Amino acid sequence: MNAEPRAIETVLIVGTGLIGTSVALALREHGVTVALADRDPAAVRLASELGAGAAWSQDGPPVDLAVIAVPPQYVAQWLLDLQKTGAARFYTDVASVKALPIAQAAALGCDMSSYVAGHPLAGRERSGPAAARADIFLGRPWAYCPAPESAPEAVAAVLSLIDLCGANPVPVEPSAHDEAVALVSHAPHVAASAVAARLAEASETALGLAGPGVRDVTRVAGGDPRLWTVILSGNARPVAEVLEAVADDLHAAARALREVAVGDGAQAGPAIGEVTDLLRRGNTGQSRIPGKHGGPPRSYAVVQVLVGDRPGELARLFQVAKDAGVNIEDVRLEHAPGLPLGAAELSVQPEAAEALAEALRAHGWHVP
Ligand SMILES: NC(=O)C1=CN([C@@H]2O[C@H](COP(=O)(O)OP(=O)(O)OC[C@H]3O[C@@H](n4cnc5c(N)ncnc54)[C@H](O)[C@@H]3O)[C@@H](O)[C@H]2O)C=CC1
Ligand SMILES: O=C(O)C(=O)Cc1ccc(O)cc1
């Protein structure tokens, strides 16, 4: 399908939580008129106060595009209800699973020519409109599923939405989408939860020693368990297959380490080789994850700088980087437990690292 992005001027967002409100905020930045609906009136009010648009009036003229941003199990029913009243010319959704809502929509008798399913691969581990941000889709993949029966104008409207949100459109077949996200999103979520669950009864000593590694590995485990239960049940077989493979690797590593533990640690023997092999395969897999804006993986240089826990410290730090002409690609903050300071880790292009370190030192920052 060679549909070009096409302007959409009016959009209805159903479900003004994290994703719906983030889409609305991104569209508002481009002057799109946005109507908001949610079963929770407080969510509409908050989204509206945040500048995401105005409460939807069902009597208004049809909008160009309705974006259904509710949990996956409600997508098909909303599509049917909206189509019955002619609420929009075209329809899409953002649910994290694709085959099931599409099959449910077809089974309910929805008009499949005006609906093109979608899924932005961007989000946060927080829910609700208060966590929404206009920029979460920038440079991120946005899967969409054109079907043989999709009207080219419907595909164009969805491409326009993706374009206005600053994301990269990725056309994909629904079942291929579900297999892919089982590997890159859904199984990792369960694995993160399994690691984080070990911390539920961790001692204060252990928690006080937590560093960036455990934070990275468990970040997504902060997600909403009810939403994730629906996502995982909607993609059960593909996720189970990935988890079984991960569990095999974990069992093998645990068995090998048991063998090492009963032997002499210094003379680990052949068993440890299995663990080394897993670590090496991990290096390979990790290095294949594309960079921030897609494309080949990029390695950034990391400049560490100590920052005091005072208002405005980070703003000052970013100003120094800006004045030095250095673009900060990513930033991570590590708080030292019990101390009024922390370390900021600034990821920059390798060729800019020295200039940034010098500029920071010249302004009195401690760069180790
Ligand atoms: N959380 C994330 O990072 C991502 C989530 N998604 C998908 O986006 C969709 C929304 O998720 P979030 O925004 O994270 O959730 P959320 O919990 O922040 O927002 C969902 C909103 O939908 C409303 N809602 C629930 N059932 C409804 C119904 N039957 N009718 C009308 N409104 C209803 C809720 O009141 C809430 O305001 C889900 O389908 C999810 O799979 C997609 C990409 C990322
Ligand atoms: O927080 C992250 O890094 C995510 O990857 C969030 C996310 C959650 C659910 C999705 O369907 C897509 C993306």
63-72, 131-140, 224-233, 294-303: lowest mean pLDDT where? 294-303
Whether residue 265 sits in one domain with residue 125 = no
Whether residue 76 sits in one domain with residue 210 = no
Q: Is the pLDDT of residue 184 over 50?
A: yes
293 assigned to some structural domain: no
346 assigned to some structural domain: yes
Please name the residue whose Cα sits nearest to atom 4 of ligand 1: 123
Find residue 141's DSSP bridge partners: 168
Query: Which domain CATH number covers 358?
Result: 3.30.70.260
Cβ of 15 closer than 6 Å to ligand 1, yes or no, is yes
Q: Structurally, how many domains does the chain consist of?
A: 3
Ligand 1 atom closest to residue 224's alpha carbon, by position in its atom list: 17
Pairing outcome for strands 33-37 and 10-14: parallel
Q: Is the pLDDT of residue 332 over 90?
A: no
Query: Which domain CATH number covers 22?
Result: 3.40.50.720
Q: Which of 117, 141, 172 is the last residue of a domain?
A: 172
Q: Distance between CA 81 and CA 86 in Å, rounded?
A: 9
Whether residue 228 sits in one domain with residue 246 = yes
95 assigned to some structural domain: yes
ipTM: 0.98
Which of 216, 218, 171 is CA-nearest to residue 190? 218
Whether residue 324 sits in one domain with residue 208 = no
18-32, 137-151, 300-314, 324-338: lowest mean pLDDT where? 324-338
**Full residue range of the structural domain in which residue 83 is found:** 10-172
pLDDT of res. 296: 60
Cβ of 76 closer than 6 Å to ligand 1, yes or no, is no
Whether residue 185 sits in one domain with residue 164 = no
More confident of the two residues 26 and 296: 26
Whether residue 160 sits in one domain with residue 42 = yes
**Mean pLDDT across 100-128:** 97
Whether residue 119 sits in one domain with residue 203 = no
Whether residue 168 sits in one domain with residue 182 = no
More confident of the two residues 217 and 124: 217
Q: Is the pLDDT of residue 225 over 60?
A: yes
The ligand with the least distance to the CA atom of 121 is 2
Q: Is the pLDDT of residue 2 over 50?
A: no
Q: Which of 146, 172, 198 is the last residue of a domain?
A: 172
